[in-house]
Amino acid sequence: MDGDYYIWISLPRSSSEYVKGIKNFLSNEFPIYKRGEEMKSPCRKCAERYWHRQKTIYDHLIFSGPSELHEEWIYEVSKMKLEVTDDFMDCETGMEFQDNLGAMFDCTGKKFQNLGDGEEKPNVEAKKFYQHVKEGKQPLYPGCTKYSRLSFMIKLYHLKCVHGISESAFGELLSLMKDAFPNAHLPLSFNTAKSVIKDLGLDYQKIHACPNSYMLYLAENKDKDVCDTCGVSRWIIQEKKGIPDNNNPQKLIHKVLTNVMRYFPLRPRLQRLFMCKEFSEIMRWHAVGRKEDGNLRHPADAKAWKSMDARYPDFSSEIWNVRLGVATDGFNPFRSMNLSHSTWPIVLVNYNLPPWLCMKQENLILSTLIFGPESPKNNIDVYMQPLIMELKSLWNIGAKVYDALTDENFQLRASVLWTISDFPGYAMLSGWSTKGKLACPACNYENSSNYLKHRKKMCYMNHQKFLDPTHKWRLDKRRFNGEVEMGTSPQILSGTDIDELLSGFENQFRVKRKKKGKSDSPFKKKSIFFYWPYWFHNPLHHNLDPMHIEKNICDKILGTLLNICGKTKDHVNARKDL
């Protein structure tokens, strides 16, 4: 044990400091990692193998102590929250619904009570935010200790979204609850509930889009009614007959939008993170609380993060600046595998947070929602324009943010480290076609591909070139393709290389491309990410989600080894190709 790193863990388990540290740890860790009313116990006896309730885990950590493998983690989590109440075990009497937003409501009150008008004090937006928080912290009804006004309303809103309750049914439910509980402070309608979220600066914008995904009706295109590329109207015109007047039926025109995307502005969401003192503190964890011993525990330990810090010292010198990741994938929101529909959310990952928090659902930032029924394919860049423009502004100029931790204003900047997607999503984000002879973006133009005549698909071989030059497998002819491998591993294309290859390239977004006249270039577009000045120098642009890769490889290997009918790859056509 070095220094005071394990200062309270090293104390006797009967001491008051040790007991307080365990309470700190459980009050911070249990809401994050629990499943129902239980979570895995990190005590020496269980070592995260068994699930227990919070009270049982508390007893285990007092009598048995923490596992040696989890001491460092327990200490880090315990320091996230300094004040502990004595009744933290009573899970059923406190505010039950505590998510990222709810926790923010509980920890901003003290900081904003006596606000002045000095230059370093919170701006007008922060004051208005606190006023809403102050009103929302009032009990739901006189004497209520379980819910505040805001926590109960957000809980209702959450249940509506999870269970798919319609707006009309939700409004009738609110009316019924208002009649049954007249003393409770409840919203009068669904729109009233939504307006509270809007007042907190967490609203979204509806942006009209071309039905063929060629353009957005923004800026200079805001007032247009027809797409410049395909000529399709942004409206569906519905005509209805009105009351006849002098035997001349009057036509009533009703316009319906053909395609709408939702954009959730990033700037106010980043500003809200620093209005909570405790959350503002953990936003600096990557620079203050991270243990630097050469091991890879966090993206801040990776080469991509460090190279960006070295190239842009003015950005890295401010530890509160935010590093983000962009993730996207398609899903069917209607819970039916028989319905062909693909909705694409674009989510931002906040890498300033510790590794046990940055990938939690409540800390992911929804940025864009692209509705189906079809995948946007290469045209996803069209829908990402608002996000790209806002992130460029946050890189060049930044946003003025009030920090509750230091009681000062500062200029916040943000950058994107990489994207996360599956392999088809890689093609949509990067513009590199992941099909055909040059499907591998890492091998790029030095790909060793062969067409299998009988199986009618591409095969990628000669992977011994990635081995050490003296490796014995390079000389093994019998187990591979009958040749000695003398090649070297291919050079990965950098951002500047891609920019040179695509110099003068004009994006032509099309939903359906013609088969004739195909280009031999694997690039189908120049990615919109190159609009950021730092993207050229990022050493790692795109990451692959390993879940899909592991599942597919495991299925193929097990299907072949167990000779499962319909899943084995050892069949007649495979033997012919061999």
Burial 419-449 (b: 16+ CB within 10 A, else e): bbbbbebbbbbbbbbbeebbbbbebbeebbe
Q: Where are the alpha helices (DSSP H) in 124-247?
A: 124-136, 149-163, 167-180, 190-199
Q: List beta partners, residue 401.
A: 410
Pairing assessment for the beta strands 205-208 and 260-263 based on DSSP bridges: antiparallel
Residue 218 DSSP SS3: coil
Per-residue pLDDT of the chain (578 residues; tens, 9 = 90+): 444 445 677 777 777 888 888 888 888 877 777 777 788 888 888 877 788 888 888 888 888 888 877 777 787 777 664 333 333 333 332 333 233 333 333 333 333 333 333 334 455 566 667 677 777 778 888 888 888 887 887 788 778 877 878 888 888 888 888 888 888 888 777 777 777 777 777 788 999 999 988 999 988 888 888 998 888 888 887 766 544 545 555 555 677 888 999 999 999 899 989 988 888 999 999 998 888 888 999 999 999 999 999 999 999 999 999 999 999 999 888 776 667 889 999 999 999 999 999 999 889 999 999 998 889 988 999 999 999 999 999 999 999 998 888 888 899 999 999 999 999 999 999 999 988 889 988 888 888 888 999 988 998 888 888 999 889 999 988 888 888 988 888 888 999 999 888 888 888 765 454 454 455 678 889 999 999 999 999 999 999 988 878 888 899 899 999 999 888 989 899 999 88
Q: Could you tell me the pTM of the whole model? A: 0.74
Q: Which amino acid is at 446?
A: E
Neighbours of 504 (CB within 10 A): 5
Q: How many CA atoms lie within 13 A of 392 on its CB side?
A: 13
CA distance 83 to 522: 57
Query: Residues 568, 444: contact at Cβ < 8 Å?
Result: no
CA distance 398 to 388: 14
Neighbours of 541 (CB within 10 A): 24
| The residue count for the chain | 578
Pairing assessment for the beta strands 235-241 and 251-257 based on DSSP bridges: antiparallel
Residue 245 DSSP SS3: strand
Query: Residues 259, 211: contact at Cβ < 8 Å?
Result: yes
165's CB contacts (< 8 A; 6+ apart) are 159, 173
Q: Which amino acid is at 249?
A: P
